[in-house]
Structure 1
């Protein structure tokens, strides 16, 4: 089965399932669905960054500071986060990613999806999927911030990154 044939839950503005369509149809019709974003860090705290392959259906050849993807029909966000992290990092036995928050992503083209953001520490040697990842490295937060102005990044990842920084800042001020 191709990625375009994968069945997704279609959801409303409150993230309630209202139907199911193939990924290809959901993308073609800009139907709201669910995605997971997982920030993976190594034992030194560096962030896994990668460039997507040119064959990706959405945002081909762009850089991303999250691993992740769509949530399959009937799949929970938590299960999708673990599955996607292990698939994209090319590892097994990863700890379950920790849920942080959820937001509704929308862009100027009308694409929209509910986005659940997670974090996970990966102490295992990574072997990213060659179908998904054209290049990868672990970068410091400072390096990621510097590269934000230099590289072309996936827009939903940038939106998740900005929200994650705000989330962490709010957590620091609450302590």
Structure 2
């Protein structure tokens, strides 16, 4: 059995309208700054608290940074919905999770590159066992606790997750 590294995983390359224009290995996509697709899933426990974690130091992008989403890149030919469920189950270490609810999509452009980002949310009442290759540390925070951590500046947050979080807060406020 041949092991494939994360850098060798083939991704769809997309244009600024999120249309597939080709495929390339993840390492090449990152090195060349090619547009690709990513999912963000905000997971809440039975009490409504938000799953927050620190990424492992071995991650290709934003190692050892904190995040309030689980998620990742879409493989070639994978849909946003399928990737959201796959990534949430993988990173939380659960099976049988409900399909995450899609909320909105945006083009992230900032530190680390640019990618289409589809934000989802899911309730996870199952006991989690986060994937050790992805998650170094985790906890659940209330919305207020998370807002304090984000505003406090003492945690290094992944920039794309922080942008998704700000947009999610604005999205929820616009629906009130």
TM bin, normalised by shorter chain, reads over 0.9
Which ranges in structure 2 are unaligned for 5 or more consecutive residues? none
- Residue 163 of structure 2 corresponds to which residue in structure 1? 159
How far residue 141 of structure 1 moved from its aligned partner, in angstroms, is 0.7
Conserved 8 A contact 2:111-2:159: no
Structure 1 runs of 4+ off > 2 angstroms?
none
Pairing of 1:9-28 with structure 2 (within 5 A): 9-28=12-31
Q: Secondary structure at the match of 2:175?
A: helix
Which ranges in structure 1 are unaligned for 5 or more consecutive residues? none
Could you give the per-residue CA deviations for residues 5-61 of structure 1, whole angstroms, max 9, x where no partner exists? Answer: 100000000000000000000000000000000000001000000000000000000
Question: Once structures 1 and 2 are overlaid, which stretch shifts more, 6-15 or 143-152?
Answer: 143-152
Q: Hey, what's the Cα distance between the residues in 2 that align with 1:101 and 1:121?
A: 17
- Residue 120 of structure 1 corresponds to which residue in structure 2? 122
TM-score relative to the length of structure 2: 0.96
Aligned with residue 38 of structure 1, among 34, 38, 41: 41
- Residue 170 of structure 1 corresponds to which residue in structure 2? 174
- Residue 53 of structure 1 corresponds to which residue in structure 2? 56
Q: Hey, what's the Cα distance between the residues in 2 that align with 1:151 and 1:24?
A: 27
Q: Hey, what's the Cα distance between the residues in 2 that align with 1:133 and 1:71?
A: 19
Conserved 8 A contact 2:100-2:121: yes
Q: Hey, what's the Cα distance between the residues in 2 that align with 1:139 and 1:3?
A: 30
Query: Aligned-residue CA RMSD in angstroms?
Result: 0.7
Q: Hey, what's the Cα distance between the residues in 1 that align with 2:147 and 2:136?
A: 21
TM-score relative to the length of structure 1: 0.96
- Residue 102 of structure 1 corresponds to which residue in structure 2? 105
Q: How many residues align?
A: 171
Q: Hey, what's the Cα distance between the residues in 2 that align with 1:80 and 1:87?
A: 10
How far residue 108 of structure 1 moved from its aligned partner, in angstroms, is 5.0
How far residue 154 of structure 1 moved from its aligned partner, in angstroms, is 0.2
